[in-house]
Structure 1
Amino acid sequence: MAMLEGERVAALAAALAERLGPPPAVAVVLGSGWAEQAAGLLAAPTALPLAELLDWPLPRVPGHRPEILVGDLDGVRAALCGGRVHAYEGRPARELVRGVRALVRWGAPAVLLLNAAGSLREDRPPGSLMPFADHLDLGLPSPLAADQSEDGAPLFLDLVDLYDPAWRRALLAAEPGLRPGIYAGLPGPNYETPAEVRMLAALGADAVGMSTIPEAVAARAAGARVLAISLLSNPAAGIGGSRPSHEEVLATAEAHGAEAARVLAAAVAAAPRG
């Protein structure tokens, strides 16, 4: 008999507890290019390859690492998940969020989601870091659909203040140069057309990407507090003649690694307690 999704999540959470011990105060999902920047942030980390966890979908996109690191980050116990899977890889919603659900079921009360995104604004150049104020979901699959969800999870979910305002304020107090913005999520894998970029900007979006929103919704449904941050890695198509590429995304992440690592650490330190 096939396992229910809730059973898979529970089994993964139990495996995390067995292999890695007590749950973290903050679980972090690292997007494209972020894994390199996070290297060295944890003191005496314990590493767990994701391939050793049954039913954990393995990230395969360049710039993601298939492992979890757990350790102390400036006095806060944190778990850094080296990557994610995406809808454009042919994954259903339940697989996009299974890892986040397992991290919260393990006991993580706060989830920090990181990604690389295209900038829709000329005043947000590559290398800028943008905490989410809100999002526009324009076609990413919902993890709350009945055939994708855990048993007992809500079907209808209030997403007001999905990205925790108190956590964001605490981060901005530590990093006042950050500017929150609106993230637009599209399924990919093709980049947006210049016409779509103009439409997204007219709708009020500041950045565009292909991930993160399903994980944020699933974490909220599971009871966790959520913060998300984009590293703006390239101008979106048509802005200044831009023709985006994944190579540019990774090069920008490498060039701005020190700032990204500092903001990651500040976000973990700013996470709500209790």
Structure 2
Amino acid sequence: MTESPFDLAEAAAAHLRNLSPTIDVALVLGSGWSAGADQLGELVAETPLEEVPGFAKPAVAGHGGQLRVVRTAGGRTAAVFTGRTHFYEGRGVAPVVHGVRTAAAWGAKQLVLTNGCGGLNPEWAPGTVVLIKDHINLTGATPLVGATFVDLSEAYSKRLRDLAHTVDASLPEGVYVQFHGPQYETPAEVRMAGILGGDLVGMSTALETIAAREAGLEVLGLSLVTNAAAGMSEDHLDHAEVLQAGKDAGPRLASLLSVVVAAL
């Protein structure tokens, strides 16, 4: 009989308790955010994710494959996932949200999800960090199975967004739209996302947030605008340029993330 996703998460958490008996908060670092891992606090332990039950090597250049346990400036224990599984890898939804469920089984109460994305607002130049206030899931998938009714009225915690604003009052807020990928969105799809109420487009985060809310985790979402979404400028999209935008923004992201996490 196939092991359930929740049993697999429990097995992963049991394995990780060798690094730390429990954790308070978990972070998933997306494109451009990995530079912040070194500034989150004192490194307690580290392990390759592929050695943890249910995880695999990262499939995308620019995504790390380590799990770090750090002690934050606020004295809390944080698990930092420097990589994630994307839905477009074709492994199904359960592997996409395995990190979230593992963090919950390990004891986390808050989850910080970060990503690199395309921006629809012309005022948000590459390098702008946007707080996610809501999302639109266009993947056609969900991590929930059967009659599992989860309230998403406040998928992204207002309390945590307010806390982030105490760290940086200038942070804008926006609605994140998750597409399936791996192809970038067409200009027509970007226009559709805007008509639906979206401000940001990408290929992660929404499915993880749904699983996090099912597990009772409080979610803070942070998007780095790495490029104008397709059709919003004359430039064509290139993954190398996306990675470079994240690298250029690295020092600011590291500083912002360390201060926000210390305040949690």
Give the TM interval when normalised to the shorter protein: over 0.9
Change (3 A) 1:7 1:260: same
Unaligned runs of at least 5 residues, structure 2? none
Q: Which moved more, 1:186-195 or 1:49-58?
A: 49-58
Q: Which moved more, 1:186-195 or 1:256-265?
A: 256-265
1:97 aligns with 2:90: no
Name 2:25's counterpart in structure 1. 26
Name 1:249's counterpart in structure 2. 242
Conserved in 1, the CA contact under 8 Å of 2:39 and 2:258? no
- Output the amino acid matched with 1:7: D
CA RMSD of aligned residues (A): 1.4
Q: What SS does structure 2 have at the residue aligned with 1:230?
A: strand
Q: Deviations over 1:167-226 (max 9, x none)?
A: 110110111110011101100111111111122122221110000111111011011111
Conserved in 2, the CA contact under 8 Å of 1:236 and 1:242? no
* Aligned counterparts, 1:110-149, within 5 A: 110-146=110-146
Conserved in 2, the CA contact under 8 Å of 1:37 and 1:254? no
Name 1:149's counterpart in structure 2. none
Q: What SS does structure 1 have at the residue aligned with 2:233?
A: helix
Conserved in 2, the CA contact under 8 Å of 1:140 and 1:213? no
Change (3 A) 1:68 1:78: same
Q: What SS does structure 2 have at the residue aligned with 1:240?
A: coil
Q: Distance in 2 between matches of 1:270 and 1:203?
A: 33
Change (3 A) 1:155 1:57: farther
Name 1:58's counterpart in structure 2. 57
Q: Deviations over 1:133-187 (max 9, x none)?
A: 10111125200034xxxxxxx6111101110001110110111110011101100
Q: Distance in 2 between matches of 1:7 and 1:258?
A: 38
Q: Distance in 2 between matches of 1:140 and 1:109?
A: 28
1:10 aligns with 2:10: yes
Name 2:189's counterpart in structure 1. 196
- Output the amino acid matched with 2:168: E
* Aligned counterparts, 1:68-217, within 5 A: 68-75=67-74, 76-146=76-146, 155-217=148-210
Q: Identity across aligned pairs (percent)?
A: 40
Q: Distance in 2 between matches of 1:192 and 1:245?
A: 12
Q: Distance in 2 between matches of 1:111 and 1:177?
A: 22
Q: Deviations over 1:34-78 (max 9, x none)?
A: 113323433134111112112223322111111111112223321
Q: Distance in 1 between matches of 2:71 and 2:160?
A: 19
Decide which of 209, 214, 220 is 1:221's aligned counterpart. 214
Q: Deviations over 1:54-105 (max 9, x none)?
A: 2223322111111111112223321110110111111211110011101111
- Output the amino acid matched with 2:132: F
Conserved in 2, the CA contact under 8 Å of 1:122 and 1:239? yes
Q: What SS does structure 1 have at the residue aligned with 2:159?
A: helix
Distance apart, 1:262 and its partner CA:
1.8
Q: Which moved more, 1:51-60 or 1:26-35?
A: 51-60
Conserved in 2, the CA contact under 8 Å of 1:181 and 1:207? yes
Q: What SS does structure 2 have at the residue aligned with 1:256?
A: helix
Name 1:230's counterpart in structure 2. 223
Q: Deviations over 1:222-258 (max 9, x none)?
A: 1111111100000011112121111111101110111
Number of aligned pairs?
Answer: 263
TM-score by length of 2: 0.95
User: After TM superposition, which residue ranges in structure 1, 4 or more long, deviate above 2 angstroms?
Assistant: 36-42
Q: What SS does structure 2 have at the residue aligned with 1:39?
A: helix
